[in-house]
């Protein structure tokens, strides 16, 4: 299975460049290829998750062996956290693509859509696997440049404006990240993350390193849309076609934002209380302000986009508490609980936010509007969309037995047992306001008098869209099982261990 590791990058890239060539002659090639590729990769990632024969793999591209103990190849690493992220990325990509088969028919240039989607997924898979800082930057640019084009896919005024804003802020983020990578290279004379980690562990934490970390937080914080770096997200996520919104909100901000922050600060830099506190503050601000910005929105997709910021705050808080406790040499079990809560909420958010964006797309597909004031009474006519969106709304607002409840519970429990009482109470408050805004979403879209803004005859969406929504809704319920010991040990614990044992990553490559 070792030789299969680079397939996560090869297959999406190959699909992305085969589609424009063959897709123009063979009708339907683009849909079949992209869905098969994503299905295969999700199965492969699940295989690596449950049945891998090693705890972690490191793959040397080009087969360049280390010279005198110094790694010279670009590495692909596959440990618990990577496998966890790969499974999320490829599963959500599969469902979004399957959904898009019906949804994207309204647009011209279907080939370009599928090619860009494959490119974006290839970039994200690369970001989570690579063990080289500059390689990470390249894959990150592949993913985000494809997403700039996908946000502007509708080529209307709003979409172009959103994409432009996204490009400007994304460009600033990329510049900051590149600058940070340059600073690391200046200090350590290497770009291999494991090697950097080894060298940094033998150097004193000075202002230079602290400044580098702040630059990285600003750069990847922009990609992850933490408040105050969030300005691009509501526009970009609400203007993109719905399957792409699901990918952007469900996966992209996690893979190129949160994942990299987690990986760099746990496994590359030495943990420090200052940076951990900064990360917790950013998370708290995102969580609280995001939900207050969301609750007043009337555009469904903007509402969901602001909730993405707020829910990312939960993830960051969970991770940040773990970082702070670890850097203060506190109780390792509380830190592990907190990190597990953060990662659990990350996968949950990918599933329910992906589903909610697909629901919003289904509503827009039949009514032609995204404005909550212009719709109503859809529950009888669109039973599948209604029931799945109810499930997702309950999951995001933290109502048992849906998955969101358990992950929020773990984060709050960890915060209380770690002594962060204010954070715990804020998390509960935000959860209540989230519930309020989703009650508003449910009430105005599905209940009340039937209104038909577009003079269409409203009916349930086609099979492909229904299938994806139902499957994701089932996942919303099924992921609650992750808190049971047997399943948790296979899925969550390896990811948490990869972070808790901060030197495991560098010892994986520097044997």
Looking at beta carbons only, is 6 or 368 nearer to other proteins?
6
Q: How far is the CB of 20 from other proteins (least distance, A)?
A: 5
The DSSP line for 277-292 is: HHHHHHHHHHHHHHHH
Q: How far is the CB of 31 from other proteins (least distance, A)?
A: 18
Return the HEC string of 231-280: CCHHHHHHHCCHHHHHHHHHHHHHHHHHHHHHHHHHHHCCCCHHHHHHHH
Looking at beta carbons only, is 13 or 279 nearer to other proteins?
13
Residue pair 216/180 in contact by the 8 Å Cβ criterion? yes
Residue pair 289/227 in contact by the 8 Å Cβ criterion? yes
Residue pair 8/86 in contact by the 8 Å Cβ criterion? yes
Residue pair 249/237 in contact by the 8 Å Cβ criterion? yes
Q: How far is the CB of 130 from other proteins (least distance, A)?
A: 13
Judged on CB neighbours under 10 Å (0-12, 13-18, 19+), 129 is: buried
- For 78, the enclosing helix (H) or strand (E) is strand 75-78
Looking at beta carbons only, is 164 or 467 nearer to other proteins?
164
Q: How far is the CB of 91 from other proteins (least distance, A)?
A: 24
Looking at beta carbons only, is 63 or 69 nearer to other proteins?
63
Torsion-angle region of 468 (φ positive above 0: left; ψ -120 to 50: alpha; else: beta): alpha
Whether the ω angle into residue 228 lies within 30 degrees of 0, i.e. cis, is yes
Q: How far is the CB of 52 from other proteins (least distance, A)?
A: 17
Looking at beta carbons only, is 20 or 273 nearer to other proteins?
20
Q: Give the burial string for 221-245 (b: 16+ CB within 10 Å, else e).
A: bbbbbbbebbebbbbbbbbbbbbbb
Q: Please give the Cα distance from 288 to 295 (Å, whole number).
A: 11
Q: How far is the CB of 155 from other proteins (least distance, A)?
A: 11
Looking at beta carbons only, is 19 or 335 nearer to other proteins?
19
Q: How far is the CB of 47 from other proteins (least distance, A)?
A: 18
Q: Please give the Cα distance from 153 to 108 (Å, whole number).
A: 10
Q: How far is the CB of 122 from other proteins (least distance, A)?
A: 11
Q: How far is the CB of 74 from other proteins (least distance, A)?
A: 9
Residue pair 100/467 in contact by the 8 Å Cβ criterion? no
**Parallel, antiparallel or unpaired: strands 57-60 and 75-78:** antiparallel
- What are 442's two structure tokens? 């449910």
Residues, the chain: 511
Looking at beta carbons only, is 63 or 485 nearer to other proteins?
63
Q: What are phi and psi of 373, to 5 degrees?
A: -70, -20
The DSSP line for 82-131 is: HHHHHHHHHHHHHHHHHHHHHHGGGSS-HHHHHHHHHHHHHHHHHHHHB-
Q: How far is the CB of 250 from other proteins (least distance, A)?
A: 27
Looking at beta carbons only, is 191 or 472 nearer to other proteins?
191
Q: How far is the CB of 115 from other proteins (least distance, A)?
A: 9
Looking at beta carbons only, is 18 or 477 nearer to other proteins?
18
Q: How far is the CB of 331 from other proteins (least distance, A)?
A: 42
Looking at beta carbons only, is 11 or 275 nearer to other proteins?
11
Q: How far is the CB of 149 from other proteins (least distance, A)?
A: 12
Q: Residues interacting with other proteins, by CB under 8 A?
A: 3, 6, 10, 13-14, 17-18, 20-21, 59-63
Residue pair 434/304 in contact by the 8 Å Cβ criterion? no
Looking at beta carbons only, is 129 or 315 nearer to other proteins?
129
Looking at beta carbons only, is 6 or 154 nearer to other proteins?
6
DSSP, collapsed to helix, strand or coil, labels residue 395 as: helix
Looking at beta carbons only, is 41 or 410 nearer to other proteins?
41
Q: Please give the Cα distance from 163 to 178 (Å, whole number).
A: 21
Residue pair 407/341 in contact by the 8 Å Cβ criterion? yes
- What are 172's two structure tokens? 């600033």
């Amino acid at each position: 299975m070792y030789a299969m590791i680079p397939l996560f990058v090869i297959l999406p890239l190959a699909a992305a460049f085969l589609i424009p060539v063959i897709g123009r002659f063979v009708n339907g090639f683009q849909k079949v290829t992209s869905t098969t590729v994503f299905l295969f990769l999700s199965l492969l990632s699940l295989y690596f998750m449950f049945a891998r024969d090693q705890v972690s793999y490191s793959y040397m591209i080009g087969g360049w062996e280390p010279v005198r103990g110094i790694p010279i190849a670009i590495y692909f690493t596959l440990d618990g956290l990577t496998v966890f992220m790969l499974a999320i990325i490829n599963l959500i990509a599969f469902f979004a693509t399957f959904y898009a088969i019906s949804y994207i028919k309204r647009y011209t240039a279907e080939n370009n859509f599928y090619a860009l989607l494959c490119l974006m997924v290839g970039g994200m898979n690369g970001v989570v696997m690579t063990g080289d800082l500059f390689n990470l930057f390249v894959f990150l640019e592949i993913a985000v440049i494809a997403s700039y084009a996908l946000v502007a896919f509708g080529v209307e005024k709003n979409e172009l404006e959103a994409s432009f804003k996204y490009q400007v802020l994304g460009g600033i983020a990329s510049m900051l990240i590149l600058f940070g990578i340059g600073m690391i290279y200046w200090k350590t004379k290497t770009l291999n993350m494991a090697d950097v980690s080894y060298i940094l562990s033998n150097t004193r934490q000075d202002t230079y390193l602290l400044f580098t970390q702040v630059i990285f937080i600003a750069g990847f914080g922009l990609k992850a849309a933490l408040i105050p770096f969030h300005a691009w997200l509501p526009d970009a996520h609400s203007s993109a076609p719905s399957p792409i919104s699901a990918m952007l909100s469900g996966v992209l901000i996690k893979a190129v934002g949160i994942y990299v922050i987690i990986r760099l600060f746990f496994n590359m830099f030495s943990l420090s209380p200052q940076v951990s506190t900064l990360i917790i503050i950013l998370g708290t601000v995102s969580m609280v302000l995001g939900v207050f910005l969301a609750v007043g929105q009337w555009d469904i997709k903007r509402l969901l986009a602001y909730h993405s910021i707020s829910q990312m705050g939960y993830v960051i808080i969970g991770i940040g508490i773990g970082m702070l406790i670890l850097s203060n040499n506190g109780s390792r079990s509380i830190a592990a609980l907190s990190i597990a809560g953060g990662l659990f909420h990350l996968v949950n958010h990918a599933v329910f936010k992906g589903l909610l964006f697909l629901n919003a797309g289904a509503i827009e597909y039949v009514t032609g509007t995204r404005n909550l004031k212009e719709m109503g009474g859809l529950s009888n006519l669109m039973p599948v969309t209604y029931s799945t969106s109810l499930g997702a709304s309950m999951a995001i607002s933290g109502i048992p037995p849906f998955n969101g409840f358990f992950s929020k519970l773990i984060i709050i429990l960890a915060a209380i047992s770690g002594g962060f009482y204010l954070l715990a109470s804020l998390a509960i408050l935000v959860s209540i306001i989230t519930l309020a805004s989703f009650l508003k979403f449910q009430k105005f879209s599905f209940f009340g008098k039937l209104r038909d803004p577009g003079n269409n005859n409203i009916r349930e969406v086609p099979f492909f869209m229904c299938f994806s929504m139902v499957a994701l809704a089932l996942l919303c319920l099924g992921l609650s099982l992750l808190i049971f010991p047997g399943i948790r040990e296979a899925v969550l614990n390896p990811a948490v261990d990869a972070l808790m044992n901060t030197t495991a990553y560098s010892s994986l490559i520097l044997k």
